């Protein structure tokens, strides 16, 4: 832009003219000359960007119960141990993702309030898990920190005539249980519970006490000649199965009336088969499904039906699969019913099979607890099982090579002699295999404490924002 000045009667007038993008001025009536235009006003400064909050993982405050359990662990000489969380996606800057990253990302979503679905954990294992006390502590600790979304997968009746009903119906009659831990394989396929119940009579019933759950699912086997199953709440029919008698595993979903207090699953005739009942809230929070079966090991988990496993794990969409294995394996190796090569092969097959069925889930293998023989005719005192440490090492090797995290339960208890200390404190049953009382609480705390510490000590994948929530929404 230029300015042209035209002289009239001694006066000069300036007109702007654009020349090649340069701001100049020409004086008409005299020699053209360049002039300096007035300085433009200073640019208005942009406001500084709002600071982006950095998401930080923090260790939950300890409850009085947890403080008491931790004090008991110190008395027993159980120091705890770290979770080994291998890198499964190396990058040029270090590690882009560890084995537990899917689970930790889900906890981030719960902690930041961005989760829209429950975070489901599936806990598989032997009788230590079937009893539920160890995973009770883990469930309680995680729920206290991140909220609860309900009970999840339950059984229509107990697995035996004895035992508690924390993970079953409140009362049941007319059912025969079959489990994958039996010596000879039962005739019908298993789902992820590792258990099914067969109605031995018409009107076999399981009654559940509701805790405000909004929805549920009945898992059942569509076996030949079996009658239908009816789901009822206080006299109102919520759902009824329609058998095709083709042997397939099926899922029947239902909505629960607001304020309902009980739920009944009723077999209309003998032979109907129930694999499980899912009761869950619609809100975000922790759900831990207890899927332990007495006498089970990695080899016996091969009895799970492939199609049923895939459909039920797809429905549950877990963010963490936990495996508590090794106790029965160490005994069976000592009894020469199992060898180390078979143990490795069967464990590897189990982990791969489960991860293929739930590719969005993290994986954590918990090794065997301390195990002993005696006292008896040959052993005058408690002696450690000779195969225990070899089994523990083999499980660690397989877990890490398969991209699963590993927790050394044996080391967390205090290593060799730990079970003897538990026994002297009165925390072991007479069989010297199964812990009891506060001993179970200590074992549960060792797992939950290690898992929470691993979560806090692992940096979130993207500083400046909470991690992404689960990609698959849970179907109840």
Backbone angles phi, psi at 246, to 5 degrees: -105, 5
Burial of 228 (0-12, 13-18, 19+ CB in 10 A): middle
Pairing of strands 286-292, 119-125: parallel
In CATH, the architecture of 153-280 is Sandwich (2.60)
pLDDT value at position 5?
41
For 368-412, the pLDDT digits (tens) are 999 888 665 455 578 888 899 999 999 999 999 999 999 999 999
In total, the chain counts a number of residues equal to: 476
Given a cut of 60, is residue 302 above it in pLDDT?
A: yes
Given a cut of 80, is residue 136 above it in pLDDT?
A: yes
CA 371/CA 59 separation, integer angstroms: 32
- Residue 434 neighbours by CB under 8 Å, 6+ apart: 127, 128, 131, 428
CA 465/CA 476 separation, integer angstroms: 29
Pairing of strands 236-240, 320-324: unpaired
pLDDT value at position 81?
97
| CATH of region 67-150+282-476 | 3.40.50.1110
Given a cut of 70, is residue 121 above it in pLDDT?
A: yes
Greater confidence, 53 or 113?
Answer: 113
Strand order through the sheet with 362-366: 83-84, 405-407, 362-366, 320-324, 119-125, 286-292
For 214-246, the pLDDT digits (tens) are 999 999 999 999 999 999 999 999 999 999 999
Given a cut of 60, is residue 476 above it in pLDDT?
A: no
pLDDT value at position 41?
62
- Grade residue 8 by pLDDT with cuts at 50, 70 and 90: very low
For 411-428, the pLDDT digits (tens) are 999 999 999 999 999 999
Q: Where in the chain is the domain with CATH 2.60.120.260?
A: 153-280
**Quick one: average pLDDT of 9-23?**
38
pLDDT value at position 163?
83
CA 216/CA 203 separation, integer angstroms: 21
Please answer whether residues 386 and 333 qualify as being in contact, where contact means their C-beta atoms are separated by less than 8 angstroms.
no
Instruction: Please state the pTM of the whole predicted model.
Output: 0.85
For 141-189, the pLDDT digits (tens) are 999 999 999 999 999 999 988 888 989 999 999 999 999 999 999 999 9
| Burial profile 281-319: b = 16 or more Cβ within 10 angstroms, e = fewer | beebbbbbbbbbbbebbbbbbebbbeebbbbbbebbbbb
pLDDT value at position 462?
53
CA 221/CA 204 separation, integer angstroms: 15
**Quick one: average pLDDT of 94-111?**
95
Given a cut of 90, is residue 19 above it in pLDDT?
A: no
**Quick one: average pLDDT of 346-352?**
97
Most confident of 37-51, 355-369, 452-466: 355-369
pLDDT value at position 12?
40
pLDDT value at position 123?
97
For 187-222, the pLDDT digits (tens) are 999 999 999 999 999 999 999 999 999 999 999 999
Please answer whether residues 246 and 221 qualify as being in contact, where contact means their C-beta atoms are separated by less than 8 angstroms.
no
pLDDT value at position 37?
59
pLDDT value at position 467?
40
SS3 category, 280: strand
Q: Where in the chain is the domain with CATH 3.40.50.1110?
A: 67-150+282-476
pLDDT value at position 48?
66
CA 11/CA 99 separation, integer angstroms: 85
**Quick one: average pLDDT of 257-277?**
96
Q: Name the residue with tokens 């889900």.
A: 106
Pairing of strands 175-179, 195-199: antiparallel
Structure token digits, residue 151: 């009970």
pLDDT value at position 383?
85
Given a cut of 80, is residue 45 above it in pLDDT?
A: no
Structure token digits, residue 38: 């007035």
Structure token digits, residue 398: 């397989």
Given a cut of 90, is residue 279 above it in pLDDT?
A: yes
pLDDT averaged over every residue in the chain: 87
């Amino acid at each position: 832009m230029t300015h042209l000045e035209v002289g009239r009667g001694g006066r000069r007038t300036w007109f702007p003219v654009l020349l090649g993008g340069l701001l100049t001025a020409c004086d008409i009536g005299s020699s053209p000359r360049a002039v300096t235009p007035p300085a433009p006003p200073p640019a208005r400064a942009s406001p500084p960007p709002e600071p982006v909050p950095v998401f930080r993982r923090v260790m939950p405050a300890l409850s009085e119960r947890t403080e008491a359990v931790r004090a008991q662990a110190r008395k027993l000489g159980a120091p705890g141990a770290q979770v080994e969380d291998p890198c499964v996606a190396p990058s040029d800057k270090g590690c882009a993702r560890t084995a537990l990253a899917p689970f930790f990302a889900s906890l981030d979503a719960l902690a930041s309030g961005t989760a829209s679905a429950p975070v489901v954990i599936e806990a598989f294992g032997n009788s230590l898990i079937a009893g539920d006390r160890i995973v009770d502590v883990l469930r309680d600790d995680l729920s206290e920190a991140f909220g609860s979304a309900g009970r999840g997968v339950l059984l229509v009746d107990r697995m035996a005539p004895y035992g508690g009903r924390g993970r079953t119906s409140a009362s049941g009659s007319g059912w025969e249980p079959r489990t994958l831990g039996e010596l000879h394989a039962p005739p019908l396929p298993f789902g992820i519970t590792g258990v099914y119940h067969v109605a031995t009579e018409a009107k076999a019933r399981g009654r559940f006490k509701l805790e405000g759950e909004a929805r549920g699912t009945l898992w059942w086997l569509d076996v030949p000649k079996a009658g239908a199953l009816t789901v009822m709440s206080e006299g109102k029919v919520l759902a009824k199965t329609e058998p095709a008698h083709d042997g397939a595993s099926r899922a029947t979903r239902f909505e629960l009336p607001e304020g309902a207090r009980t739920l009944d699953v009723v077999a209309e005739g003998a032979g109907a088969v129930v694999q499980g009942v899912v009761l869950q809230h619609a809100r975000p929070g922790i759900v831990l499904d207890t899927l332990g079966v007495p006498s089970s090991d990695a080899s016996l988990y091969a009895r799970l039906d492939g199609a049923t496993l895939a459909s039920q794990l797809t429905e549950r969409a877990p963010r963490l699969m936990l495996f508590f294995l090794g106790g029965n394996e160490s005994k069976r190796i000592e009894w020469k019913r199992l060898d180390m090569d078979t143990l490795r092969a069967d464990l590897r097959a189990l982990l791969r099979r489960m991860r293929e069925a739930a590719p969005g889930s993290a994986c954590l293998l918990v090794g065997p607890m301390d195990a002993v023989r005696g006292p008896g005719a040959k052993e005058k005192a408690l002696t450690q099982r000779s195969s225990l440490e070899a089994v523990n090492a083999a499980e660690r090797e397989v877990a890490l090579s398969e991209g699963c995290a590993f927790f050394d339960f044996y080391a967390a208890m205090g290593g060799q002699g730990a079970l003897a200390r538990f026994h002297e404190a009165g925390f072991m049953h007479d069989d010297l295999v199964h812990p009891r009382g506060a001993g179970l609480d200590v074992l549960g705390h060792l797992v939950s404490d290690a898992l929470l510490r691993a979560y806090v000590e692992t940096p979130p994948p993207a500083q400046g924002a909470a991690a992404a929530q689960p990609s698959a929404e849970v179907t109840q």
